[in-house]
Amino acid sequence: MTEENTLTYRQIKYGRKLYFDKYIKYWIQETCSACNGSGYYDHDDSPECEACNGTGKDVWRPDYDAMLTQTEPLIGQVLTCRINSTTDLHVYVNKRREVIYEYDHIDDPRKNERIRSRLYVDYKQSKRKYDWVFTDKQGNDIYLSDMTMRKQK
């Protein structure tokens, strides 16, 4: 084996990084809407779904560069919304894709714990558009468009 045919560790690692950045990073996998995840159009010997090639999954990558411009004005701001009569949610947008949130419980201030979470892009059915969302500890999806900016004192 000659030296010109061998790749160094760093070249292989760089190739894997390029592949990951292009084909895996930030891609979203959802249930195919054409076949509803079955991979076929019908139940009786129908052909495979052409939208997902029979996998039952729809894979797509949102335009994160355009979506990041939506979060730029929110960095350093506090967003808030009312959960119920005794609980408010405060979200501090820390970075482009990270938030720190806490539930403000009026009845028990010891429950006010600050938690970090990542922002993701998701399709919001009610507004029929893509929006930034994070998931809290209880598994609830919270969209940033549902919140209002807290006024500075």
Q: What are the pLDDT digits (tens) for 71-85?
A: 888 888 899 988 888
Same-domain status, 25 and 98: no
Cα 62-68-70 angle, rounded to 5 deg:
110
pLDDT > 70 in the chain, percent: 90
Mean pLDDT of the chain: 82
* E strand map for the chain: 28-31, 57-60, 78-84, 87-95, 98-105, 115-118, 120-124, 129-135, 141-143, 148-149
pTM, entire model: 0.56
Got the DSSP string for 34-45?
TTTTSSBSSSSS
The pLDDT of residue 153 is 55
Q: How many domains does the chain fold into? A: 2
Same-domain status, 16 and 83: no
Retrieve residue 60's tokens: 């797509």
- Single-letter amino acid code for the residue at 52: C
Does the residue 35 lie in any domain? yes
pLDDT in tens, 103-152: 888 877 777 788 888 888 777 766 667 788 888 888 888 888 888 887 66
- The one-character DSSP state at 151 is P
pLDDT band at 15 (very low <50, low <70, confident <90, very high): very high
- Only one residue has tokens 């609980």, namely 87
* Domain membership of residue 45 as a residue range: 9-61
Does the residue 1 lie in any domain? no
Strands 115-118 and 98-105: antiparallel
Per the rule left: phi > 0, alpha: psi between -120 and 50, beta: everything else, 25 is beta
pLDDT > 90 in the chain, percent: 12
Distance in angstroms between the alpha carbons of the first and the last residue of the chain = 71
